Amino acid sequence: MSSRVVARRSCYRLGAAAVEAAIILPLLLTFLVGLWEVGRMVWVSTILTNAAREGGRVAAGGTFAGNPVTVAMVQQQVKDYLSNAGFPSAAVTGATVTLTNLSSNAWTDPSDSWPLDHFRVTVTIPSGNAYSSLQFSPLSSITGATSLTVSSDWLSANDSRVTVDGQLPY
């Protein structure tokens, strides 16, 4: 075979490789960006779940650093967790933290709860600037997701309320 025929065949093969790359590369890049975005949303969801658990842990104890726990303390604890985990400031300030009493006992602050009272800590990152700061691609326009919400259910670990009479029986 002459060198001219070999050169011609390799030249045609280079053109075929360029066409194959032009067809496959956009599909491959779309797949990789989608995979990256799904991985990021799993990371964000895991951080939100851990932040809700941290708020529930603080609320369940009834006291934190020697002070009675309030709803504001639980909210601040959750936002501190999000900030320390590396969330953008727009997502931290836009986060909504709610503590819901699910028990039959009426209380507003966790420090007033009875032992084993059921409550829920919910963390929501609403749509808008807070939500868009957590994603890289316009995935929400495709999936229709506008916010992220996670909840964590807990039972109060407050001590039993016992009253002791100061009089000794005679």
What is the rounded distance in angstroms from the CA atom of residue 124 to the CA atom of residue 101? 17
153 in Cβ contact with 102 (< 8 Å): yes
pLDDT digits (tens, 9 = 90+) for 70-81: 999 999 999 999
| DSSP, res 66 | T
What is the rounded distance in angstroms from the CA atom of residue 6 to the CA atom of residue 21? 23
pLDDT digits (tens, 9 = 90+) for 77-128: 999 999 999 888 888 888 899 999 999 988 888 888 888 999 999 999 887 6
**Which DSSP string corresponds to 109-121?**
SGGGPPTT-EEEE
Which pTM does this prediction carry? 0.74
